[in-house]
Chain A
């Protein structure tokens, strides 16, 4: 089975032996997982909230809000499941380019925690912050995320 690679402002859903992968800086990835279906989804978003509707060509996944909700909607249309049966993990939100993306990483993480709390989805692991990039591999057979921060050894979450 091929790996699913997630780019910026995107959502991918997979199951079983698939691994969903992405790289992060100030962006955040939220991974949701269902143990029952051995299925999960990942959103990679760059901004906390959509402030106003500025164009007809909206990419909802660019924003934590409403992107995370969109990811949940897409996942639940494929797998019949309640929020309480899902778990979530959060990664990224670093301050990589100091003079460009200021506090965005912190705000991105904050919105993830707020929305998941509102949706009654338990956050069971996270690795966020710092000043270096992240590479994450979300294994859908067991829900484990292998996360490597640049300059450090990879660790399982």
Chain B
């Protein structure tokens, strides 16, 4: 195991992060007309090698929405859904019978794109209101690939500059539809410092 310096993820920042993910749950449920609840699996910091080793253990074929949150406290947001489940998500959003969409066309890709957009926006909205900062999402990038490859490529610039990463790892199950999605929020180390030092938080 690679040694981690264990950068502290500020407790107040953790709380605001949880609130923002609750809001992301709400908007996701509204868009898909389901009752989905995001469950936070882990909030931690670790060595980049350990993090990607864990990602490699359970790598799946997914469609992903990669959204950079830009502003005073930059973060990365990553939403991933197993490839075949992205078809079901499209059916849910368009209120069609599950099984209607059966090929990966622009509507399926843009359903994942838009899920990323609204959830990332919801997260930004909570941070802006609570911390009085500027934070907005950039236009999402949609990818189809192995989840481990996507994670590595998306966090490449973070891993270039530092050997540790802060990770908020979550998932949600739409049990009625058998859909299982994963979500990562990755604040830059500097963003954690800035948020931790905001007065009144």
Separation in Å of the B194 CB from the closest CB of chain A?
A: 21
Q: Are B53 and A57 in touch, CB under 8 angstroms?
A: no
Interface string of A130-144 (1 = CB under 8 A from B): 001111000000000
In the complex, residue of chain A having the shortest beta-carbon distance to the beta carbon of B154 = A97
Say yes or no: A132 contacts B145, CB within 8 Å: yes
Whether B51 lies near A24 (C-beta < 8 A) is no
Bound together, the chains give a CA A5 to CA B49 distance in angstroms of 10
Q: Could you tell me which residues of chain B, from 86 to 115, have a CB within 8 Å of some CB in chain A?
A: none
Q: Are A150 and B152 in touch, CB under 8 angstroms?
A: no
CA distance A61 to B2 in the complex (A): 11
B56 touches A150 (CB 8 A): no
B42 at interface by CB-CB < 8 Å: no
The segment from B25-33, B128-136, B156-164, B181-189 found at the interface with A is: B156-164
The distance from the CB of A1 to the nearest CB of chain B, in whole angstroms, is 16
B149, A24: Cβ atoms under 8 Å? yes
Determine whether A31 belongs to the interface, using a CB cutoff of 8 Å to chain B: no
Min distance, Cβ B92 to any Cβ of chain A, angstroms: 25
Q: Give the interface residue-count category, chain B.
A: 20 to 34
Give A residues with C-beta under 8 Å from B: 5-10, 21-27, 46-47, 57, 59, 61-62, 96-97, 99-101, 104, 132-135, 150-151
Residues of B within 8 A of A21 (CB): 56
A73 to B5, CA, bound (A): 26
Q: Of B2, B55, B146, B156, which is within 8 A of A100 by CB?
A: B156
Q: How far is the CB of B143 from chain A (nearest CB, A)?
A: 7
Contact A46:B160 (CB < 8 A) given known A7-B48, A8-B49: yes
B52 beta carbon closer than 8 Å to chain A: yes
Complex Cα distance, B148 from A22, in Å, reads 9
Task: Answer whether residue B11 sits at the interface, using C-beta atoms and an 8 A cutoff.
Answer: no
B59 vs chain A, min Cβ distance (A): 5
The reply to whether B146 and A135 contact each other, CB–CB distance below 8 Å, is yes
B16 at the A interface (CB under 8 A): no
Judge whether A9 and B59 touch: CB under 8 Å.
Answer: no
What separation, in Å, do the CA atoms of A96 and B51 have in the docked complex?
20
Asked whether B57 lies within 8 Å of A5 as measured between CB atoms, the reply is yes
Q: How far is it, in angstroms, between the C-alpha of A46 and the C-alpha of B154 when the chains are bound?
A: 13
A10–B51 CA distance with the chains assembled, in angstroms:
11
